[in-house]
Amino acid sequence: MDRKFLMTAFGYAILGLVLGVYMGISQNHGQLVAHAHIMLLGFVVSFIYAVCYKLWLPTATGGLGTAQFWTHQVGTLGLSVGLYILYGGLMAPQKIGPVLGIFSITALISLILMKVMLIRANKTS
């Protein structure tokens, strides 16, 4: 799992930096919120999860680890795309807002699952 999170973290970093470079070149910083979420939730949090798996959860390859990985990916990707749509003016806030809420909760569930796994790992060590 640590490797999966590490690879996705750097994928999000590339995506976020490409968006940042585009904003700088175009002098249009309208996607700042989407850029920040891609970099923080996509890159930074994924990287932190990779470190957690490497240091404290090296054997977490079962169902809970898989669920945690995929809820983070779905939540992060959905939120990133949704924010890009919102701040690009491609959809009205009242239409995309509930979708953003669902993806935000999905990312939160991933964080809760990580906390549960860390608590379990602490009890067994």
- Please write the tens of the pLDDT for every residue from 77-95: 999 999 999 999 999 999 9
Both tokens assigned to 88: 């690009």
- 63-67 mean pLDDT: 94
> Could you tell me how far CA 118 lies from the centroid of its own chain?
19
- The number of domains in the chain is 1
> What is the per-residue pLDDT for 107?
98
Give tens-digit pLDDT for 94-117: 999 999 999 999 999 999 999 999
Tell me the three state secondary structure of residue 25: helix
The pTM score is 0.94
- Residue ranges of alpha helices (H) inside 27-92 are 32-37, 46-55, 63-87
Domain residues for the domain of 54 are 2-124
Among candidate residues 119, 121, 7, 16, the one with its CA nearest the CA of residue 73: 7
**Length in residues, the chain:** 125
